[in-house]
Chain A
Amino acid sequence: MHEKSLVQSLLKQVEAIMREHHAVSVQAVTVEIGPLSGVESLLVEDAFSELLLNSQIGRPSLNIQAVDLTIRCRDCEQASSSPGLTLKCQLCGSNKVQITHGDEFRLMDVSLQIPAESENSVT
């Protein structure tokens, strides 16, 4: 279960963003998880809830956005969506493909509560 260590990295980033913007709390964290990321959403949710207890960021909600698997073929150079987890070009059948989306675990955005007076001081 490596989601715990991944969520620790996520929370460190969120804490740094919170400090950078002098926020008093974090309301929501949005992440993107691809089907080939090797990261299980349910386990991320569990780890997030557990690790928040030792974190300085308050009790934000976690929004998980699923990403479709998309590939680019190195033979026919076309992009296509891939049903299921098949790494095969849907147009020419080649398996020489590059994943363009679907293996990511990305921090997309963070909703902060910041003092009104500092809103204009942080760009």
Chain B
Amino acid sequence: MNTVDTVSKTVVINRDVLSEKKRRAAELRQQFTERGILVVNLVSSPGSGKTSLLEATAKCWQGQHKMAVLVGDLATERDAERLRPLVPVEQLTTGGACHLELSLVEKGLAKLPLDDVEFLFIENIGNLVCPASHDLAEHLRVSVLSTTEGDDKPGKYPKMYRTSDALVITKTDLLPYVPFSTEDAIADARTIQPELSAFELCSLTGDGVSQWCDFLVQARRRTVCIPAA
């Protein structure tokens, strides 16, 4: 049996474990920026109303702005089926994984028509922990929080709120019936991320939806290269 004389050697690396994925995400984000597409990553716990928010956004913009959606789910195409009559949509089924990764997003993008699209939404898996660690090439990360959840949630999931650019509080029509303070929730989130933009709305009635949509239009003007008309 051949034996090889070996020696020990320690190689110093000191590098972010996700550095390669972050580099790929930054490249893809730059491509979206140059194409004039604002990418918005919606994150929340399950049932906060992400799909309803996207339906309300599509209805608000009908004929004005073109959007497309990548929908992440563990199983089923139910959310994609809800959105398909309104906007181009591609389902990303993770088969149980608790978050979306860039490779899944890239796979979905290959099938999604993006001609003339101004806004691409990524509806992430309902989970306030794991999606916070993954850059999906978004320009904006938006946390969605419903009034049926605790208004102390931001402080309990600090990384998600710290890495978010905006907070959308949904289901405001239920405020008379639930012990939820929108002021407390926004204040809690801003102790973690002082520059967080905040919106209160009801996707079913449409209350507050136009302010959210205006915010996105302004964010697109500020963030991406708008192609000349």
Contacts and interface: CB of A to CB of B under 8 A. Distances in A.
Nearest to B5: A116
A95 B18 contact: no
B18 A2 contact: no
B14 A106 contact: yes
B171 interface: no
A56 interface: no
Contact of B5 (A1, A23, A95, A115): A115
Of the four ranges (under 10, 10 to 19, 20 to 34, 35 or more), the interface on chain A belongs to: 35 or more
Contacts of A111: 8-11
A87 B191 contact: yes
B8 A112 contact: yes
Contact of B13 (A17, A27, A36, A87): A17
Contacts of A109: 10-14
Interface string A9-31: 11011000100010110010001
A5 B130 CA distance: 10
A109 B9 CA distance: 10
A6 B4 CA distance: 33
B10 A31 contact: no
Nearest to B11: A110
Interface in B151-190: 158-159, 162, 190
Of the four ranges (under 10, 10 to 19, 20 to 34, 35 or more), the interface on chain B belongs to: 20 to 34
B194 interface: yes
B6 A114 contact: yes
Given A38-B130, A115-B4, A106 B15 contact: yes
B7 interface: yes
A19 B20 CA distance: 17
Nearest to A28: B10
A116 B51 CA distance: 59
Contacts of A107: 13-17
A2 B6 contact: no
Given A13-B15, A87-B192, A114-B7, 20 more contacts: A2-B129, A2-B134, A5-B101, A6-B17, A13-B20, A17-B11, A24-B4, A27-B8, A38-B132, A39-B133, A87-B158, A95-B190, A95-B194, A103-B159, A104-B16, A107-B17, A109-B11, A109-B12, A112-B10, A117-B5
